[in-house]
């Protein structure tokens, strides 16, 4: 069964065509700067990637470009649209409505739209992707896979904020989390890698990249996560500040004369690694500058690692111990120095990183010492496959089953 996985952004449309039975990626690409005169399309796998300037006035036009590339030209992956069996859409915010992936119908679309106030850029973009697919491939079954659904198992003591309760009742202000599809994938895959039942493990899963989140997964169930009502909460990130004293917000607004939107932009787009270093939101550039002696870059690098270390400690306490810590995403998978800094000093907790194993790259691997009481595992994430798998199960089998990834 071939599933087209769609991840629509406000001005982008990212996609993969996945054969679920073989787990083979048949094609992938992205349409960038949709709606602008500088729009372009990348299509192909690895060395076969083509980059083409394409006028795309909206997501519907972008979807037409994608389908044309999938069925014709030098990098065609299928003979016709009939070879696409179903479509899976990444949707960030599922709110209180969706604790799992669902077949898309008009009611689901209405709820995704209603929840857009909690993720205005992401949910509106997902709806544009859904409508484009409805236009270009009418009648094709579609599934929505929500970033937040994995965290609907978090108990009230962890998802509630200590604000007046009526604000929760009126506006559903609570922790929803994000990156749930990634955390679900790496927790399942880590259990399979360790040859242990997921239901027997206490895991801390760390999605560390430009966006960062850490979750506590107790016997296969998420019990806490670092992101909150929005993806701004929690760890220091590339451009997001993460958790700060909330009194800072009105203080800055008054001192700088900022509007609500301006202070929101400051915290989401101008803070984090970029704000502290003054150099970049990319950890690789900050690392290079820090090693060249830039004091602000050094500070940013240390703050990033310290932020992750603190959440790991919190979640060991929340679960009363941990069997393994799982790392993924751009930083978690690839940055040997950051991993070393995060785990430095955690030996008294039974967490020992092996310096030589930590230097390896590019595949699933264990980087803890042989005598470490807690295993440290690196698992490259694969959110697209999880979206394709959920779509397959709902469309072909009619239900979702949680199973370890072999």
Which residue, 376, 285, 311, 296, is CA-closest to 339?
Answer: 376
Is position 398 annotated in a ligand binding site?
no
Please indicate if the annotation marks 284 as binding a ligand.
Answer: yes
Q: Could you tell me which residues come within 8 angstroms of residue 363 by beta carbon, excluding any fewer than 6 positions away?
A: 380
| 238 carries a ligand binding annotation | no
Annotated binding residue 92: no
139 is in an annotated binding site: no
Paired strand residues for 86: 3
Q: Does the annotation place 362 within a ligand binding site?
A: no
Told to judge if 200 belongs to the known catalytic residues of this protein, a careful annotator would answer no
Question: Residue 205's beta-bridge partner residues?
Answer: 215, 326
Q: Is 67 labelled a binding residue?
A: no
Please indicate if the annotation marks 209 as binding a ligand. Answer: yes
Residue 332 marked ligand-binding: yes
147, 218, 224, 233: the active-site residue: 147
Pairing of strands 50-53, 24-32: unpaired
Tokens 């559903």, residue located: 172
61: tokens are 């036009």
CA–CA dist 311, 327 (Å, integer): 13
Q: Is 59 within any annotated ligand binding site?
A: no
68 marked as part of a ligand binding site: no
Question: How many C-beta atoms surround the C-beta of residue 45 within 10 A?
Answer: 14
Q: Is the dihedral of CA 313, 314, 319, 320 positive or negative?
A: positive
Tokens of 33: 């700067």
Apex 103 CA angle, 97 and 109, nearest 5: 60
Q: Residue 207 annotated as binding?
A: yes
| Residues that constitute the known binding site for substrate | 90
Annotated binding site for Mg(2+): 7, 383
Catalytic residues: 147
Binding residues for ATP, by number, are 14, 207-211, 282-284, 330-334
Binding site per annotation, positions: 7, 14, 90, 207-211, 282-284, 330-334, 383
């Amino acid at each position: 069964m071939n599933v087209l996985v769609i991840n629509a952004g406000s001005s982008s449309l990212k996609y993969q065509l996945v054969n679920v039975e073989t787990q083979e990626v048949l094609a992938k690409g992205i349409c960038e700067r949709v709606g602008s005169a500088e729009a372009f399309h990348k299509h192909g796998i690895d060395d076969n990637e083509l980059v083409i300037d394409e006028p795309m006035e909206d997501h519907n036009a972008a979807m037409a470009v994608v389908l044309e590339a999938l069925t014709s030209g030098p990098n065609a992956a299928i003979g016709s649209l009939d070879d696409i069996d179903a479509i899976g859409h990444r949707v960030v915010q599922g709110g209180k409505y969706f604790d799992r992936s669902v077949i898309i119908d008009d009611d689901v679309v209405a709820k995704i739209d209603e929840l857009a106030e909690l993720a205005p850029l992401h949910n509106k973009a997902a709806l544009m992707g859904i409508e484009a697919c409805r236009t270009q491939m009418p009648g094709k079954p579609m599934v929505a896979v929500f970033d937040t659904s994995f965290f609907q198992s978090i108990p009230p003591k962890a998802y509630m904020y200590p604000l007046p309760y009526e604000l929760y009742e009126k506006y559903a202000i609570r922790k929803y989390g994000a990156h749930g599809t990634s955390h679900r994938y790496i927790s399942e895959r880590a259990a399979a890698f360790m040859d242990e039942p997921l239901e027997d493990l206490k895991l801390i899963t760390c999605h560390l990249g430009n966006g960062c989140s850490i979750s506590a997964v107790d016997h296969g169930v998420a019990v806490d996560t670092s992101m909150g009502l929005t993806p701004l909460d929690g760890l220091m990130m590339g451009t997001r500040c993460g958790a700060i004293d909330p009194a800072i917000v009105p203080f800055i607004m008054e001192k700088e004369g900022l509007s609500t939107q301006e202070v929101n932009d400051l915290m989401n787009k101008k803070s984090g690694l970029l704000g502290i270093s003054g150099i970049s939101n990319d950890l690789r550039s900050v690392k290079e500058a820090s090693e060249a002696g830039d004091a602000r870059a050094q500070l940013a690098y240390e703050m990033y690692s310290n932020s992750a270390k603190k959440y790991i400690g919190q979640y060991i306490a929340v679960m009363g111990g941990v069997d393994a810590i799982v790392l993924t995403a751009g930083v978690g998978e690839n940055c040997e120095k950051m991993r070393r800094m995060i785990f430095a000093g955690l030996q008294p907790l039974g967490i020992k990183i092996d310096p030589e194993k930590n230097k390896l790259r590019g595949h699933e691997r264990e980087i803890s010492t042989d005598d470490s009481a807690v295993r440290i595992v690196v698992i490259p994430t694969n959110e697209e496959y999880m979206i394709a798998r959920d779509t397959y199960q709902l469309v072909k089998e009619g239900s979702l089953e949680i199973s370890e990834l072999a």
